[in-house]
Every structure is written in C-alpha cells, then in structure tokens.
Amino acid sequence: MSLLTNKDLMDKGRKDGYAIGAFNINNMEILEAIVMAAEEEQSPVIIAASEGAIDYAGIDMLVSMVCTAANGHNIPMSLHLDHGKDFEVAKRCVDAGFTSVMIDASSLPMEENIAVTRKVVEYAHARGVSVEAELGRLAGIEEHVSVEARDAFFTNPQDAIEFVKQTEVDSLAIAIGTSHGAYKFKGEPRLDFTRLNEIAGLVSIPLVLHGASGVPEDILALCQQYGAQLPGAKGVPNESISEAVKMGIAKVNIDTDLRLAFTGAVRKVLAEKPEAIDPRKILGPARDLMKDVVKRKMKLLGSSGKAKNYS
C-alpha cells in the first residue's frame, strides 16, 4: 500500500472513535517492530521520525525503509516528521517524501507561531502533504502548581480557535499535562480533561496528544533488573489515554516506551549471554519486545482491526 497522509488516517479514526498511534523510529529494528505489530493487529499506523532520527539514520535511508515497508504490507501508514523546528526542516522532509510534517513553533509568541505554521501549510498542502502544529507548551505539571502557572503552559481553548482558523493546519497538538521522556509526573498523573473537552468542542480538526508513553511497569522492571537506573520513572496511565481518545484525541505519540523495551531486551541478552556478538541475536529480542509494546498500544487506542477501513 502506498503511504497515506496523517489526515487520511486521523479523519477516519476521529469519525469512528479511535486514535492512531504515532511511533518514533531510529533504525530498521524499530521500524520492523512497528510494522510487524500493525500487520498482526491489522491497524493503521503513523511512522514518526524526529530531526534527531534524521541526523542519525539519514533522511534518504529513513524514507527508503518506510516506503519499502509500506509497499510490502497492506497496512495504512504514513511517514511523519515529528517536531520540526522550522520551515526549512519541514520543507526538506516534504521534498524527501514524507507524507506528513509537524511544525513545532510553540515556543514562539502566538502570532509568530501562526506565521511559521501558515508558511509550512501553504508549502505542504500544495504537494499533498498534511501538517500538524502545536499550541501550548508540553511540560509535566506538578499537582500543587497554581492555576495561573498551568494556564501559562496549557493550550488556551480560545487561542486554538484562532490558530486553526488562521493556519488551516490539519491537526493540532495540545498541551494538557503530559511531557516527553520517562519522567512525566512528579506527583499523581493528572491530565486536564476539562480543557481537552472544551478544545475538542471548539475546533473541527483532529487533536494530538504528545508525550503519551505509559512507561509500563513490566518493561520498566526488566530494564531495572538488568542495571538501568530509572528511579521515579512514571508515564501516562492507560485509563487516561482511553479517556483522552473518547474526548477527541485522534493521534497519540509513543517513543519512550519503545526505548525502554529496546533497552531492557538488549540489557537482558548481554547480561545472560556475555558471549553474544551476533547483532541479530542481540537486537532480535529487542525487536520482538518492541512489537509487543506496539501491539498493546494499538489495542488501547482502539485501532486494532481498523486497517480494513482504508482499503
């Protein structure tokens, strides 16, 4: 199947009440794990690559691998730039064959964010590529933080209306309390569902939840059993993800959970088989464990069995 856009994937998901998982890749094993999981679950999937991944693997290599995977499987998938920092990065990815790009100018004043995003939208849409933008700042918020401080980070619902109107962006990443990495909360996990519900009722485009890895207890325990130092790691509970999807989240970004699975599996092999030098025997178990994690996420998001909706 040819690569689709994020808009193609998310519009159907949003209409039918499920979300699409966006899983970050850095190498072949991670891509294979994701695609194998999508095949087994018959789930649509978004393959995401950050600027760091592009620097590591090379943009042509990443595009070639993902296109090969798409052509070899009858699974609806897209290739998405995650957190592009400026127009030039987004343009480079569009020109290279990405079918979706994210421009993250959320650190800029809203007027500048709108201007940068609009420029990316005009370039990408002219070439059949969908665009995601971000409004608000993604940062874990402690329980005792003041309402004023929360508002300074979280997406303002009224701003979302104006932002979507002026940019004509295809999807919007919003800040409601998640954060990147393995340490998402210092207190009890808490997302601002009231804010999410309000934004979902005000804008007509799909909403995106970044920093949504769950840091599964069994995967974390495996990492720590074999020497990883991850005290206090805490992710987004499955119940919160399910609630967010019910309220309108159509795309959920997952990266940390794959990193943890990769790390845990590799550490286990090297600890139990110190004689191992074959990369396939070291990385193969990591691929298998990442596949298991991706399958869990697809079930959680409700996208399992939905590949047939795109045929």
- DSSP assignment letter at 282: H
Tell me the two tokens of residue 230: 């991850």
* Residue 202 Cα distances to 135, 186, 206, 289, angstroms: 14, 31, 11, 39
82 is catalytic: yes
DSSP 203-218: --S-EEE-S-----HH
Please state, in angstroms and rounded to a whole number, the distance separating the CA atoms of residues 199 and 269.
46
- The residue from 16, 55, 60, 82 that is catalytic is 82
Q: Which residue has the tokens 């959320």?
A: 106
Query: 182 CB contacts (<8 Å, ≥6 apart)?
Result: 213, 215, 230, 233, 234, 235, 256, 260
Catalytic amino acids? 82
